[in-house]
Amino acid sequence: MTSVEDDYNFVFKVVLIGESGVGKTNLLSRFTRNEFNHDSRTTIGVEFSTRTIVIDSVTVKAQIWDTAGLERYRAITSAYYRGAVGALLVYDISKNVTFDNAERWLKELYDHADANIVIMLVGNKSDLAHIRTVPMEEAKMFAEKNNLHFLETSALDATNVELAFNTVLREIYKRVTSTDMTNKKGGFSIDPAANPGSQNGQTEEKKSCCVNL
């Protein structure tokens, strides 16, 4: 018997990137399971979780990858950018160093991911606004300069978490279904590896990764 989770039209691979400790794992668990773990440990390598949503009566499965922020895992995680059509670049609004390194993360993302990837800059831990070190206006300027979406979120109290992920997924869907995206001269590259249901490059017939519908 096929479950609702297995019945979808598109698979969109989205990666979470940013320094260790900014809350990427809890953003993932809040969006996919509506959970928050106060004792969350540092991610080793890469983990992923999924959630299915409906956009314009079309079922989209978000495959969200949580990448380790620690330097010693960078060589492992870089390969996982392949096939990603969306990304949340996360920093901690209470730790300026995590925002200072956003440009480096952005460069790494562009070096390994599709050129048309949808990116949102996310200032996490908005519940710590009383000890903020990264001004919102500074983050907005950085986002505008680099043509990124921008939101501040709190995985702890769930502020803007749904909005952040849904904005990215809807923008991906918009690009995928636009005339430009379906034109063979442009658009996201199709990577069978982004679909966990594919083996040896053979994708399941009824399911599609990215734009292969």
Q: Which residue pairs from 50-56 have beta carbons closer than 8 angstroms and sit at least 24 positions apart in sequence?
A: 50/5, 51/165, 52/4, 52/5, 52/8, 53/166, 53/169, 55/169, 55/170, 55/173, 56/173
pTM for the predicted model, two decimal places: 0.81
In terms of residue numbers, what domain contains 113?
Answer: 4-182
Answer whether 14's CB lies under 8 Å from 64's CB: yes
**113 within domain boundaries:** yes
Q: Is residue 33 part of a domain?
A: yes
Please report whether residue 9 resides in a domain. Answer: yes
Q: Is the pLDDT of residue 2 over 80?
A: no
Residue 204 has pLDDT above 50, yes or no: no
DSSP state of 159: B
Please name the residue that has the structure tokens 């950085």. Answer: 142
> Could you give the number of structural domains in the chain?
1
Whether residue 108 lies inside any domain: the answer is yes
Is 90 exceeded by the pLDDT of residue 3?
Answer: no
**Residue scoring higher pLDDT (134 or 111):** 134
* Interval 85-107: pLDDT, tens: 999 999 999 999 999 999 999 99
Does residue 197 lie within any of the structural domains?
A: no
Whether residue 138 is contained in a domain is answered as yes
**Does 157 map to a domain?**
yes
DSSP assigned state of 22:
S
Identify whether 60 is part of a domain: yes
- What pLDDT band is residue 144 in, cutting at 50, 70 and 90? very high
The predicted model gives 204-212 an average pLDDT of: 39
Tens of pLDDT along 28-85? Answer: 999 999 999 876 665 555 678 999 999 999 999 999 998 765 555 556 556 778 889 9
Residue 37's CATH number: 3.40.50.300
- Whole-angstrom Cα distance, residue 89 to residue 149? 10
pLDDT digits (tens, 9 = 90+) for 112-141: 888 899 999 999 999 999 999 999 999 999
Among 18-27, 45-54, 141-150, 185-194, name the one with the lowest average pLDDT: 185-194
Q: What are the CA-CA distances from residue 74 to residues 62, 123, 153, 164, 189 (Å)?
A: 23, 22, 25, 25, 23
Q: In terms of C-beta density within 10 A (0-12 exposed, 13-18 middle, 19 or more buried), how is residue 38 classed?
A: exposed
Phi then psi for 174, rounded to 5 degrees? -60, -45
pLDDT mean over 138-154 = 98
- 213 vs 126, which has greater pLDDT? 126
State the pLDDT at residue 33.
94
